[in-house]
Amino acid sequence: MDNLAQIIKEFATFLGKKLDAIASKDSIEIKGAELITIKGEKGDKGDKGDKGEKGEMGDVGEKGEQGETGKQGEKGDKGDKGEDGKDSTVAGPIGLTGKTGAKGKDGKDGSPDTGDEIIGKINKSKSQIDAERIKDLWETVEELGKRIKTNEVNTLALGGMGTPLSQSFSCNGVLTAFTLSRDIGGEGKALWAHYNGQWLVPTTHFTISGRRIINTTFTPEDGTTIDVLFFPAS
């Protein structure tokens, strides 16, 4: 009887352990038997626990010491010289206008006479102008002699001619007709006119009308002068 009681007790212990295992698992495998899943019912949700108290804030730590100032780094080596730049194709900006220069000294008083008045006084004067004072006079006479010899001015043979005369006309930027004091010899062709540094070309720069009127094909500028050398008709 004691052995039987001992066997029953051990079986009960074994069975309790198996039941505990079954309760802690969704399933249990039994060798030689089909797999059976046993799922227990879901228990009720437990009550929410109380919120814990906020802990106290810790003390502020001490300020750390300032670090030492770092040393200055060593100077690097000088770099190589760069290549020359290419010529720019873009024009640079226009420079600023310079300051106005100082005012020049006043000029000396000139003659109050106009150019025509001066010419009139010269023509009425008993004295003669020195030929050396007439610009390019001798060069013109020499050229005239060459042209006569080469028969380039054969029209001069037509009609008599007197001593060559010179006459100047002051221009005002308006007039284009200038009247000589005498008729021109050589059928109005024995005349040479000089203006602004050049000899005027007949027909191109001027024409002759009435044997003594010079008509320029352009308007001479104000303040300029036309110098004329001509052989008057005798």
pLDDT, tens digit, 9 for 90 and up, residues 82-119:
788 777 666 667 767 767 778 777 767 667 787 667 76
Decide if 172 is inside a domain.
yes
Domain assignment of residue 192, given as a range: 129-230
Which pLDDT band, with edges at 50, 70 and 90, does 201 fall under?
very high
pLDDT at residue 208 greater than cutoff 50: yes
- Find, among 166, 165, 170, the residue nearest to 113 by Cα: 170
Decide if 202 is inside a domain.
yes
Decide if 218 is inside a domain.
yes
DSSP E strands, 49-156:
none
Element (H, E) at 208: strand 206-209
Number of domains in the chain: 1
Decide if 216 is inside a domain.
yes
Q: What is the pLDDT of residue 133?
A: 67
Please give the Cα distance from 19 to 14 (Å, whole number): 9
Q: pLDDT: is 106 or 158 the higher one?
A: 106
Whether this model's pTM surpasses 0.75 = no
Which pLDDT band, with edges at 50, 70 and 90, does 153 fall under?
very low
pLDDT at residue 11 greater than cutoff 70: yes
Which pLDDT band, with edges at 50, 70 and 90, does 200 fall under?
very high
Q: Are the CB atoms for 176 and 220 separated by under 8 Å?
A: yes
Decide if 7 is inside a domain.
no
Which pLDDT band, with edges at 50, 70 and 90, does 157 fall under?
very low
Decide if 159 is inside a domain.
yes
- Find, among 178, 169, 190, 177, the residue nearest to 233 by Cα: 190
Decide if 98 is inside a domain.
no
